[in-house]
Amino acid sequence: MKKVLMVGVTTLLAMVMATGCGSNNSGNSASNGGSSTNSGTSASNAPAKDVSIKVFQFKVEIAEQLNQLAKEYEKETGVHVDVETHGGGEDYGALLKAAIASGTEPEIYNNGGYAALEPYMDRATDLSDQAWVPNLLETTKAPTTVDGKLYGMPMNTEGYGIIYNKDLFAKAGITTEPKTLPELTDAVKKLKDAGITPFEATNEWWSLGIHMVNVAIANQPDPAKFVEDWKAGKTTAAGNEVFKQWLNYVDLVFQNAQKDMLTTDYATQVATFAAGQAAMLPQGNWVQGDIDKVNPDLNLGVLPISINDQAGHVLIGVPNNWIVNSKSAHPDEAKKFLDWMVTSDTGKKYLTQEFHFMPAETNIDATKEDIGAIADGVKALNSTALGWFWDRFPDGTTQGFGAAMQEYQGGRISKDEMLAKFDKTVADMMKK
């Protein structure tokens, strides 16, 4: 392992400030994909020349790499792909609606599926007949399948848990990976006794209101039914035994995180962890590229999240889907671009080696060297993984969850008040 010269967190932050879920700008530096054989585009299905299509996308971590991929596509086909990225601290949904309302219809946009897809069904294109559909992992089809038809291409699969620094664990004398909440609590004590900050947390609403709240939902006996019952007013978070247990995990993180947790955004969170200043990072494999910018040799592992004395789980799902807009100028060209992205050598190289994605397609191989240690750690825990359920709520619900969690994190409301605000958020969103 080569030695990496570690600099101050301020300098490290500058390296990732424009990446991750906290900004609009680029992710990792992308290498030139070079020319390749396009196995997914036949002569009769060849893209048109002198055409431009627009991609309105969410994932800021791949912004720079996706722009490079677009250039490769133009080299091979003559079709220009204009990539516009919005995410992280921005409200992607609101910006997409504004773009559509202004008359600048993108050919391709992102959508989480389920309830989030409903407002866009008037312009979502049926993709069921596309050549790449048989290659999809079966579970990745569900978010955008409506009445037996597929309306989206899953971007990839992702997973999250607790990323940890193996060297700091060893320094604290932790020899066994904690898999239950009591075991994690014991590990936290050992880390503190060794003078090591246990958690690097964030105050970002999306991390709290989406990923952290999903832990409570996913641990319900029947998560999908729980969501539907919650939306129908048949159940609540207040008084729910799983939410009560989940709060013990939340408190363990909040009470054992860095001192400036309430002012820590995503970029700072990842940069500080990458600098070795905390042992654990509650995030997912999407942080790999940002960590590698700071210290590509960081010795990382992934822990499951437990809310009680039972073994915990990582949480895996489809982060987003590519939707082809039937009301745009060139929907057919958009379909050809998506097909090229998952069938050509260039596209597959970018998906794995540049985006560091866990592919949603069975025909795309991804090694640990391609996707990184974090994704590899998530994959190792796949057999007991739980799912993602936030896109089953109406738009605005997770923002409400996040706002309530920020208040609780800052000590402004109690546990009961936070859960009551969750219930009010769901009820209010269902009235709209």
State the total domains in the chain.
2
Q: Indicate if 100 and 147 belong to the same structural domain.
A: yes
Comparing 4-18, 109-123, 213-227, 305-319, the range with the smallest average pLDDT is 4-18
Band (pLDDT 50/70/90 cuts) for residue 388 is: very high
Residue 95 covered by a domain: yes
- CA–CA distances in Å: residue 266 to residues 16, 383, 404: 9, 29, 18
List C-alpha distances in Å: 351 to 117, 144, 297, 345, 395.
Answer: 24, 21, 22, 10, 28
Cβ atoms within 10 Å of 356's Cβ, excluding its own: 25
282 token code pair: 């509650």
Are residues 237 and 171 located together in one domain of the fold? yes
Q: Is 387 contained in some domain? A: yes
What pLDDT is recorded for position 265? Answer: 96
Structure tokens at 63: 């912004």
Task: Tell me the residue range of the domain where 184 lies.
Answer: 159-316+380-431
Q: Give the whole-angstrom CA distance, residue 36 versus residue 246.
A: 48
Does residue 114 lie in a domain region?
yes
Looking at the fold, whether 203 and 278 belong to one and the same domain comes out as yes
Select the more confidently predicted residue: 22 or 307: 307
Question: Is the model's pLDDT at 25 over the cut of 50?
Answer: no
- Kindly report the CA angle at 418 between 219 and 186, in degrees rounded to 5? 55
Same domain? For 185 and 294 the reply is yes
State percent of the chain over pLDDT 70: 88
413 is a domain residue: yes
CATH number of the CATH domain containing 332: 3.40.190.10
Is 6 inside any structural domain? no
Based on the domain organization, do 261 and 352 belong to the same domain?
no
205 SS3 class: helix
Q: Residue 48's pLDDT is what? A: 61
Q: At 45, is the pLDDT very low, low, confident or very high (cuts 50, 70, 90)?
A: low
Closest to 324 measured CA to CA, from 125, 78, 103? 125
- Pick the residue with more confidence: 104 or 183? 183
Strands 80-85 vs 52-57: parallel, antiparallel or unpaired: parallel
- Residues 327, 272: one domain? no
Residue 84 belongs to some domain of the structure: yes
Q: Residue written as tokens 């320094």?
A: 171
- 66 lies in some domain: yes
Using pLDDT thresholds of 50, 70 and 90, give the confidence band for residue 88. low
d(CA 118, CA 146): 10
pLDDT for residue 90: 76
Rounded Cα distance between 167 and 299, Å, is 6
Top-confidence residue, 306 or 89:
306
Residue 120: what pLDDT?
Answer: 96
> What pLDDT score was predicted for residue 23?
32
Residue 347 has pLDDT above 60, yes or no: yes
In a domain, 77, yes or no: yes
